[in-house]
């Protein structure tokens, strides 16, 4: 019986080529993820002694846009209804006097403050809107997305009034129509739903910051532990 000759060096190289290609693909994937790579493949965090990389959270742009659109739409619809129904009418008493629908035109900031600086607050609202939109792609926290979305919707709602209502662009008066515990803002400044969105969204952001939750989905305590492990 004939014995087969041993494989040539060229045949051995061909036989080992698929394994080399697989290792090369693994190395490239690990390098793109920022993981260390050894001769035999990617090196795990247990082998290097380093802390494992944090889990990548999904972006929250859609949630921010949904919250902003809800506040903006609710604000503009209620303002249109208030102007149509309350113009020239006395305040409407609701909830046993806990709430009054009382139409006012506000040239100032939220809750009728600083009425002599209309154009300044228009510019401030523009800056807030642009800043939140620029931050949106880095948002990975659901709470921050909802809070910033409410702030964005509130700022955009009042900005629409300042741009498109009388007496003119950049000087438009904001429509306010909610007065609590009494008419004419006797106990609290008259406001609208955009003001409410600004206040609730801002309060939510402050609460998340106090709890150590950042807009990118991480915690301040986690970053501190990771920094300690790195220095150690």
Considering the candidates 176, 214, 222, 228, report the single residue annotated as catalytic. Answer: 176
The first and second tokens of residue 187, run together, are 């106990």
Q: For residues 74 and 86, give the distance between their C-alpha atoms in angstroms, rounded to a whole number.
A: 17
The first and second tokens of residue 127, run together, are 């800056």
For residue 58, how many C-alpha atoms fall within 13 Å in the half-sphere facing its CB? 6
Q: For residues 166 and 69, give the distance between their C-alpha atoms in angstroms, rounded to a whole number.
A: 24
Considering the candidates 161, 195, 216, 222, report the single residue annotated as catalytic. Answer: 195
Give the DSSP letter of residue 102.
Answer: E
**Could you give the dihedral angle defined by the CA atoms of residues 116, 117, 118 and 122, in that order, rounded to the nearest 10 degrees?**
-170
Give the DSSP letter of residue 189.
Answer: -
Residue pair 119/170 in contact by the 8 Å Cβ criterion: yes
176 is catalytic: yes
E strands of 107-191, at which residues? Answer: 174-180
Q: Active-site residue numbers?
A: 176, 195
């Amino acid at each position: 019986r004939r014995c087969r000759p041993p494989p040539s060096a060229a045949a051995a190289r061909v036989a080992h080529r698929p394994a080399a290609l697989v290792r090369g693909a693994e190395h490239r994937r690990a390098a793109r993820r920022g993981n260390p790579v050894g001769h035999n493949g990617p090196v795990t965090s247990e082998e290097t002694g380093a802390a494992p990389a944090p889990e990548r959270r999904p972006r929250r742009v859609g949630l921010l846009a949904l919250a902003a659109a809800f506040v903006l739409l609710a604000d503009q619809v209620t303002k249109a209804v208030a102007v149509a129904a309350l113009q020239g009418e006395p305040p409407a008493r609701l909830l046993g006097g806990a709430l009054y629908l009382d139409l006012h035109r506000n040239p100032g900031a939220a809750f009728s403050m600083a009425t002599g600086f209309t154009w300044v607050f228009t510019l401030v609202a523009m800056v807030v809107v642009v800043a939140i939109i620029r931050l949106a792609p880095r948002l990975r926290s659901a709470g921050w997305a909802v809070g910033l979305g409410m702030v964005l919707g509130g700022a955009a709602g009042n900005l629409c009034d300042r741009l498109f209502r009388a007496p003119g662009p950049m000087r438009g008066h904001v429509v306010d129509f909610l007065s609590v515990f009494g008419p004419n803002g006797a106990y609290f400044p008259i406001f609208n739903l955009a003001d409410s969105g600004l206040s609730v969204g801002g309060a939510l952001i402050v609460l998340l910051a106090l709890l150590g939750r950042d807009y990118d989905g991480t915690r301040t305590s986690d970053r501190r532990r990771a920094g300690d492990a790195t220095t150690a």
